[in-house]
Amino acid sequence: MTASFSFRLDATDGAARTGIISTPRGEIRTPAFMPVGTAGTVKAMLPEHVRATGADIVLGNTYHLMLRPGAERVAALGGLHKFMNWPRPILTDSGGFQVMSLSKLRKLTEEGVSFQSHIDGSTHMLTPERSIEIQCLLGADIQMQLDECPAIPIAEEAARKSMLLSIRWAARSKSAFEATAAPGQALFGIVQGANHESLRRESLDRLLEIEFPGYAVGGLAVGEGREEMFRVLEFTCPHMLANKPRYLMGVGKPADIIGAVARGIDMFDCVAPTRSGRHGQAWTKSGPVNIKNAKFADDPEPLDPESDCPASRDYSKAYLHHLFRAGEYLGPMLLTWHNLQYYQHLMHGLRDAVSTGRLDKFIEQFKAATGETVV
């Protein structure tokens, strides 16, 4: 434990890295996967089980929490960690991405973005300063600057205009953060520029001038496809600081994560394991399966008999199939737990492979076992 935020790089294997992010609330082993706890809960999971899977940090969504229960309320109740009974590190996003994807009547200006809540239609304004204020009220250990995240494809001129707005918001976010944040909290800048190499370089250069303790790659996983995403990482990551953590936002499926780790990314978040778990999809050593498929109705085997996770080990596929057919709570509970265990086991394997210089072999084994393509 430390009273300040720091990153220690322990080993590399090609472009891939492994290390430790230290925060006052605990260490984060990288490469790290952050389960998404949108509204103050990793859906269908007890926090002690999230931890038991090996998660060092979870993500909270500023957009959801500002609308319900409200950041000031969470602060009055002692902050998000206490509220959700998760004493370890929390990263919050800026809220910007979900304003644009979920809210109604959005209006983007230099000042920020005004919108109507998707819950009750109430009107709100999210500026770089308000986003930081909310994230500080929540007590997030890692906070994110407000940015604009355009879809791909986007023409270079429009992409540059958007990226420069994000840069101006980055500077305002940092000023607000320095005025408000607690010791040991960290604000990350976000590299934008769509899939245009020159824009990604320009975005990164300008963020490096502002200076952040960590940098995210934003604006990916927005429909561009895995190969294109990897191409962007290939021309972006080599220019990022070696001694700062790199966070690829909103990514991804196992093959996405593996490919991004190979290109130098340290941190990930994605709803895939939790959302798909609620819908009956389980990741296994041999690839994804849909437990609702009739072929599992009589299958006595668990998802992973060798796992130390009760959800993976102690229930047959036939039982899981039955739970989903019957619409029982326990189905999403067990499959979410299993998927989060799978993801953390994957991250453990990646860290171990990078530490010992065997990432290529790890990737080959993953491809052979799952039939997945990792470009």
DSSP 54: T
Contact of 264 with 16, CB cutoff 8 Å: yes
- The pairing of beta strand 186-191 with beta strand 142-144: parallel
Among positions 256-285, residues that touch a copy of itself (CB under 8 A) are: 278
- How distant is the alpha carbon of residue 51 from its chain centre? 16
CB 34 within 8 Å of CB 328: no
Asked about 93 being catalytic, the answer comes back as yes
Rounded CA gap, 251 and 189, in Å?
A: 17
**Which residue is catalytic, options 56, 141, 256, 269?**
269
- Decide if 360 is catalytic: no
d(CA 268, CA 262): 13
d(CA 261, CA 347): 10
Q: At what angle do helices 359-370 and 254-262 cross, to 10 degrees?
A: 160
334-353 positions binding a copy of itself, by CB under 8 A = none
The answer to whether residues 244 and 7 touch, using CB atoms and an 8 Å cutoff, is yes
- Cα Rg for the chain, rounded, in angstroms? 20
143 CB-near residues (< 8 Å, 6+ apart): 91, 92, 94, 132, 135, 136, 177, 181, 185, 186, 187, 188
Query: Least CB distance from residue 72 to a copy of itself, whole Å?
Result: 10
Q: Per residue, what are the HEC states of 104-146? A: EEEEECCCCEEEECCCCCCEEEECHHHHHHHHHHHCCCEEECC
295 binds a copy of itself (CB under 8 A): no
CB of 117 to a copy of itself, least distance (A): 13
- Out of 16, 309, 323, 359, the residue judged to bind a copy of itself by CB under 8 A: 323
Asked if 105 is part of the footprint of a copy of itself (rule: CB under 8 A), the reply reads no
The residue among 272 and 333 lying less far from a copy of itself, judged by its C-beta, is: 333
Please compute, for residue 36, the number of CA atoms within 13 A of its CA located in the half-sphere on the CB side: 20
Asked if 333 touches a copy of itself (CB under 8 A), the answer is yes
Q: Which range in 22-30, 33-41, 105-113, 139-147 contacts a copy of itself by CB under 8 A? A: 33-41
Q: Which stretch binds a copy of itself (CB under 8 A): 100-108, 204-212, 234-242, 316-324?
A: 316-324
Nearer to a copy of itself, 88 or 246 (CB): 88
Q: Which region, judged by CB under 8 A, interacts with a copy of itself, from 150-158, 173-181, 210-218, 330-338?
A: 330-338
Region 68-97 residues binding a copy of itself, contact defined as CB under 8 A: 68-69, 73, 76-78, 83-85
Q: Roughly what angle, to the nearest 10 degrees, separates helices 156-180 and 128-138?
A: 50
Candidates 111, 209, 328, 352: give the one binding a copy of itself (CB under 8 A): 328
Distance CA 215, CA 245 (A): 6
Among 75, 318, 365, 370, binds a copy of itself (CB under 8 A): 318
Could you tell me the smallest distance in angstroms from the CB atom of residue 324 to a copy of itself? 11
- If binding is defined by CB under 8 A, does position 298 make contact with a copy of itself? yes
Please pick, from the candidates 44, 138, 237, 359, the single residue that binds a copy of itself as defined by CB under 8 A.
Answer: 44
Q: Do residues 257 and 268 touch, judged by C-beta distance below 8 A?
A: yes
Q: Is residue 371 involved in binding a copy of itself (CB under 8 A)?
A: no
Residue 77 gets which letter from DSSP?
Answer: T
Which of residues 77 and 182 has its CB atom nearest to a copy of itself in the complex? 77
From 93, 141, 147, 304, active-site residue: 93
Min dist CB 214 to a copy of itself, Å, is 29
Among 286, 305, 306, 329, which residue interacts with a copy of itself (rule: CB under 8 A)?
329
Stretch that binds a copy of itself, among 61-69, 121-129, 174-182, 187-195 (CB under 8 A): 61-69
Would you count residue 306 as binding a copy of itself (CB under 8 A)? no
* Interface ranges with a copy of itself (CB under 8 A): 39-41, 43-46, 48, 64, 68-69, 73, 76-78, 83-85, 278, 297-298, 300, 310, 314-316, 318-319, 322-323, 325-326, 328-330, 332-333
> What are the catalytic residues?
93, 269
